[in-house]
Structures are given as C-alpha cells and as structure tokens.
Structure 1
C-alpha cells in the first residue's frame, strides 16, 4: 500500500520542526480549530520557546508559543490569550504553554493590482450577445455576458 505524499512530507518535516521550532505539523494543522478560522487566516504559530533546564532533575516548565499575526489578528489573539493557551494545552494533552508572544508581521502578500481590462470590439460584443441569446433564463444570459466580457477582455487579441 502506497503512502500519500502528505504522510511522507509529515514524516520528514515533523522531526525537523520539533527540533528547530518545538512545533509539530499537527499543531499547525489544528491552528484554525484552536484560534478560530477568522484569526487563523491572518496568523500562524512560529515556534515554542521552551525554557532551558539547568539540570536534568529540574521540573518541567511550560513554554511560550510565538505566533506571527497581522495587526487585527494580533489584537484578537491578545484578547483571547487565555482561551488559546487552554486549547493548545488540551490539544497537546499537558500544560505545554503558559503564554503567547505575538510577533506582528504581514503573512499574506498584498493582492497584485489588477490589470485594466481592454475594451471589447464591436464584433466581440456582438459575438457575446449572440451566445447569450441561446439561454431562456435572464439571469443565466447575464452571467454568460459577464463571463464572455471577462474572458475576451483578458485576451490580447482574437
């Protein structure tokens, strides 16, 4: 039985993330459920800073989750920190996190400016209108017109 590519990637990346960032892919994958879908769109857990133990006999101390977030998500996370810490600890199965540290940064690239659509020629407009007349429903005709205009205006020339 062949493994899926995701399982293979997870098997390779999980140890690297655990060693370098103290994270697992499971935590990153569960972030939308932990933080909420709206917050998760503009935030991402980066790493867990674990306190250094001076001796092997020292008691375990919970770490600090470092989260990259855009401005509004950072504000929401700050207000929901206690709940998020509780959800992460429940997800991990032990008191792994004691607090959240926010790093404000833009995660998504700003949308690229849309190219201005070129005007349609008279022949192109007539062709679209002929295609649209083949439909009985007015709403469908309008949709076909909009689609035709969009497609033909994106082409450099027909």
Structure 2
C-alpha cells in the first residue's frame, strides 16, 4: 500500500508542474525546473539573495524577418546592495543559465532590487547522518576532484542513506 502512495505523490508533483509550467511560460517565460534548479545554477555565492523572475523574449515585428532565434533577457530579483555582486557575475550567470537550458537562451540579465525569500525558508532540512555514515560516504567520494560535484553527490548520498534508514525502521 505504501508503494502506491509514494508513486501517487510523485505523479501529483508531475501533474502540478504540468499545470503550473504553461502558466509560468506564458506569463514569465520560465518553468518550475529553472526555479527549482536556481540554487545549483547560481551557486552558493548568489542563490541566497537572488531568484529568477522572468525571461523576456524579443518581439518580432512581422513575418518578414529571417526567422532566426534571438536570445532573451533574464530578469533576476536581488536583495539590497548585493545587486552589485550579482551584476559583476552577469557573464558567469548567463553561461550557467544557458548551460542549464542547453543552448543560448539568454544573452542579458536584468537585475531588479527587491526582497527575496531567505534560503533557509526555501531549503528543506538537511538529512542527519551518524559520524560513521558520514565518514563512509566521504571515503567513497575521495576520488572526485570537483568540489561542487563532490558536495552535490554528498547531499544526494546523505538523502538516500537517511531515506533507507527511515524505511528500515518503518518510519515514513
């Protein structure tokens, strides 16, 4: 019975994203996948105080244009004086966002100054591992040179290990 409940939960999330994505795409030019991946795209240095708002695509005046794609402008909300930091990292962020999309989707970032929900409110609680579990996981990841990749896999592994522990103890 539990397996069907878990499967239903993931299907509901897919249905919800399927309903929300077209609305976001029409109104803001973005999808829930961009919103949920922003922390990974922007990195720890910028995710705490910024979030994507919308993508504005250039308007084509008529059918007589050559029909080539032109990249859009990503509007990013940013808190207070940190706008300066985000503005200096514009080139890097454009590269990361285009890497996320897999093509040159944007060529500019427009930063608007407004309050952004703190990261602590957005992020779920980190899974807690015992010191022995944490050390065993870190030993498995020693060969990975990229610090960002190692940290991402460490978070994933901690989540998987804590879920296995919950299932083994019968909690959910």
**Normalising to structure 2: TM-score of the pair?**
0.58
Q: Aligned equivalents of 2:91 and 2:72: distance in 1?
A: 14
2:87 counterpart of 1:67 = no
2:21 counterpart of 1:21 = no
Local SS of the residue matching 2:52: strand
Q: CA RMSD of the aligned region, Å?
A: 1.7
After TM superposition, give the deviation of residue 8 of structure 1 in Å. Answer: 2.3
Deviations 1:4-35 (A, max 9, x none): 23222211101110111000111111111111
Local SS of the residue matching 1:2: helix
Number of equivalent positions: 109
Q: Aligned equivalents of 2:87 and 2:80: distance in 1?
A: 11
Q: Which one has the largest radius of gyration?
A: 1
Deviations 1:79-126 (A, max 9, x none): 1110110111111111100010000011238xxxxxxxxxxxxxxxxx
Which blocks of at least 5 consecutive residues in structure 2 are unaligned?
Answer: 1-6, 119-172
Task: Select which of 84, 95, 98 maps to 1:89.
Answer: 98
Which blocks of at least 5 consecutive residues in structure 1 are unaligned?
Answer: 110-158
Q: Which has the larger helix fraction?
A: 2
**Normalising to structure 1: TM-score of the pair?**
0.63
Q: Aligned equivalents of 1:106 and 1:36: distance in 2?
A: 19
| Cα pair distance change 1:11/1:3, threshold 3 Å | farther
Deviations 1:31-61 (A, max 9, x none): 1111112421221100001000123443211
Equivalent residue runs for 1:9-158 within 5 Å: 9-56=16-63, 57-108=66-117
